[in-house]
Amino acid sequence: MIKIQNNEIEVLDPKMQGEGAEAKNDTLVKKFGKKRNTGSGMKRSTRFEKIYLGIIFFLMYLPVAVVIIFSFNESKLPVRLTGFSFQWYEKLFADSAMMEALVNSLILGVASCAVSAVIGTLGAVGLSRIHWKTKGALEYISILPLMIPEIILGMVLMAFFYMLNLPFGMLTLLIGHTVFCIPYILMEVKARLVGLDPSLEEAARDLGATSMRAFFDITLPLIMPAVASGSLLAFAMSMDDVVISIFINGPRLSTLPIKVYTQIKTGVTPEINALCTIMLAFTAGILLVYSLVKKLRRRSQ
């Protein structure tokens, strides 16, 4: 059986498939003037895509590899390799100012991530359950911090804290980082809630569970992967922020990105390479642990 649609021919008879299909397809070409795709073009396309992706990944990760390699270089000049050494890691950990900035960034990242996770999750749940006419406007406002340029957001926050006579320091940094971290978690959780079946929570309420109990026992475990992935992204954004932090940090407080930014003005030193390598290893470790936990949960289910 042959199906013709939009000048394309589809062989539905199993007798015409398998051996001899190409010859019969050529016969159909003579009759209808169009040949079916035999898959060779798809193979060429797949090969081209692999080469293209390989080039993209090479260009993306080559600078990262250079930073890691030169963090173990014996020479201070980042022009040639002279030997293998851990001296730059030793000097990095001996730098008290850098370690203090690292601790400040870790505290700030964890705190802003925790606050953003609570607010972002509750906001996503609330937006998914309301049916107001202004729902679209509320969703737009909730992601507005991502659309505003960082320099403008930093200036606005600085003016806002100045109006409140709020001393600049860890508290202002926490509020500022929470502002731009919330949308990451909110979008992740909201996307997960779209795919959930609302009848699950309704069934729990029909069985006597309260709305709060149904949320914590049914909905929250299902959206936890989205909360975790959004929190990791928010933590990474907090650890990476320079522009907003410059506007709202205190005079005696310095975060790691600000410290690195001020030092690289005179050139990239091997200590900075060592610090970047440690941060990359830390991030890779978090992603590895998250993937392992996710696999273990799938196996247990």
Q: Where are the domains of the chain?
A: 2-32, 41-86, 89-300
Rounded to an integer, the average pLDDT of 71-88 is: 78
Is residue 126 a contact partner of residue 219, using CB atoms and an 8 Å limit? no
Which of the four pLDDT bands, split at 50, 70 and 90, describes residue 87? confident
Under CATH, which architecture does the 89-300 domain have?
Orthogonal Bundle (1.10)
pLDDT in tens, 109-131: 999 999 999 999 999 988 888 87
Q: What is the three-class DSSP state of 81?
A: coil
Predicted pLDDT of residue 155: 93
For residue 73, what are the β-bridge partners?
Answer: 84
* 284 vs 112, higher pLDDT: 112
Q: What is the three-class DSSP state of 251?
A: coil
Copy the structure tokens of residue 108.
Answer: 């700030």
Which of the four pLDDT bands, split at 50, 70 and 90, describes residue 182? very high
Q: What is d(CA 98, CA 4) in angstroms, rounded to the nearest whole number?
A: 70
What is the pTM (predicted TM-score) of this model?
Answer: 0.73
Is residue 225 a contact partner of residue 192, using CB atoms and an 8 Å limit? yes
Phi-psi bin for 209: left (phi > 0), alpha (psi -120 to 50), beta?
A: beta
pLDDT in tens, 8-36: 444 455 444 444 555 555 554 444 454 44
For residue 4, what are the β-bridge partners?
Answer: 9
Is residue 280 a contact partner of residue 239, using CB atoms and an 8 Å limit? no
pLDDT surpasses 80 at 145: yes
Residue whose structure tokens are 């953003």: 116
Predicted pLDDT of residue 9: 47
Mean pLDDT for all residues in the chain? 81
CA proximity to 92, closest of 68, 73, 112, 71: 71
Copy the structure tokens of residue 112.
Answer: 């802003």
* 14 vs 297, higher pLDDT: 297
pLDDT in tens, 235-264: 888 988 999 999 998 888 889 888 888 887
Q: What is d(CA 261, CA 254) in angstroms, rounded to the nearest whole number?
A: 11
Phi-psi bin for 33: left (phi > 0), alpha (psi -120 to 50), beta?
A: left
| CB atoms near residue 234 (< 10 Å) | 28
Q: In the chain, what are the helix, strand and coil shares in percent, each to the nearest 5?
A: 75, 5, 20
Q: What is the three-class DSSP state of 84?
A: strand
